[in-house]
Amino acid sequence: MTRNVGIVGGGHTRWGDRDATYKDLIQEAGKATFEDVPDVGPEDVEGLFVGSVQPERFAFQTHVAPMVAELIGVDVDTMIARTELACASGQAALRYAWLAIAAGQLDVALVLGAEKMNLPEAHGGEAQASMTNVMDREFDGVNGLNAPPYFAMVAQRHMHEYGTTREQLATVSAKNKSHAAHNEFAQFQREVTVDDVLDSYPLSPPLCLFDCSGITDGAAGLLLMSEEKAREVTDEATYITGSGQACFASNSVNNLPSMSGWPQATTAAENAYEQAGIDDPVKDLDVAEIHDCFSISEIVEYEDLGWVEKGEGGQFVEDGRSELDGDIGVNPRGGLLGCGHPLGATGVSQALELHRQFRGEVPDERSVPDPETGLIHNLSGSASVHSVMVLERGRP
């Protein structure tokens, strides 16, 4: 028999090119998380799950979960782990904490995602070299296929097959970056227009600089509890009602099932929708944080998450259907394009954003009207793995 699991609070560091160390970021996020839930302290935590992608390369530190426990004063007596699933590492940590509580192994878990990607000048090439590791380094990496060239190929193919336009890509970025202008934690805090995106530096055609997420330092945390425990702390918990993941035996680019779509996302979403009782995602979802590591990603995700037919993603954003007051308010915190993308922290931050949207704790300028149900989505590697989670406001 499974149990309902609620998010009762969380905390966030400022994201960007920070002078802070990996340890500093962990302590900032841990402190902010416990301050958000005054009735819960480190002594209450039974399980700790840390999402972190490449601390061995970025922070020159392995075995980070016990280090996190030490830094924030948590004595773990039941379960502790670090999760690594490239850009979905934070959601993986959240998923495992949810499953552990649902299975009755824990009552209280702390999830923390962290990444320190900007390194001292002496190691300036480390981040870019390390990013090749999330692809198939031996086959794809040697051919220059880190993230921008891969997603540029996806954009080229999508434009060729479906007529998606450069302006539609730029509309995604302008929307999300403008949301981030009202997010105190975001790396990039300025209003951006479609023309600004189109005029930004050409990086990997058709993608320009503003079509790409940043190299980012940052951390975020969440506190999860069984429903019984959560109701002792708050009447405004956010409940996890569904989750799905899919990977179709592909990692290297040459084995991917498509260059213009991600059927793995469709499978993951359908599994999450079925668990959560969602029949029509466009009608049933109010808010979503989806993985816009590049502007084309969000357009493909509109389609493969089942919101529109294949090839209609560009029109979805052009018609304003992903605006805050549209069919689904997409990436109100600013997404990866506006907030930046500290790999292991992104999925945690997405879930925290939905929790705060449900509680009305975000600025009016980026608030989705009266949200009840939301979704978070991450892709990882060469988009070979997709992770989807459905969250609901105040009720299991």
Q: Report residue 222: phi and psi, to 5°.
A: -140, 145
Residue ranges of the alpha helices (H) in 22-146? 22-36, 55-58, 64-72, 89-102, 126-131
Is 339 marked active-site? no
Closest by CA position to 294, among listed 198, 155, 129: 155
- What CA–CA distance (Å, rounded) separates 340 from 213? 6
**Which residues is 389 bridged to in the sheet?**
243, 376
- What CA–CA distance (Å, rounded) separates 394 from 235? 7
- What CA–CA distance (Å, rounded) separates 204 from 134? 18
Q: Break the chain down into helix, strand, coil percent, rounded to 5.
A: 45, 20, 40
Closest by CA position to 97, among listed 116, 78, 124: 78
- What CA–CA distance (Å, rounded) separates 25 from 33? 12
Is 341 marked active-site? yes
Choose the catalytic residue: 12, 158, 179, 341.
341
Choose the catalytic residue: 87, 208, 212, 293.
87
Which residues are the active-site residues?
87, 341
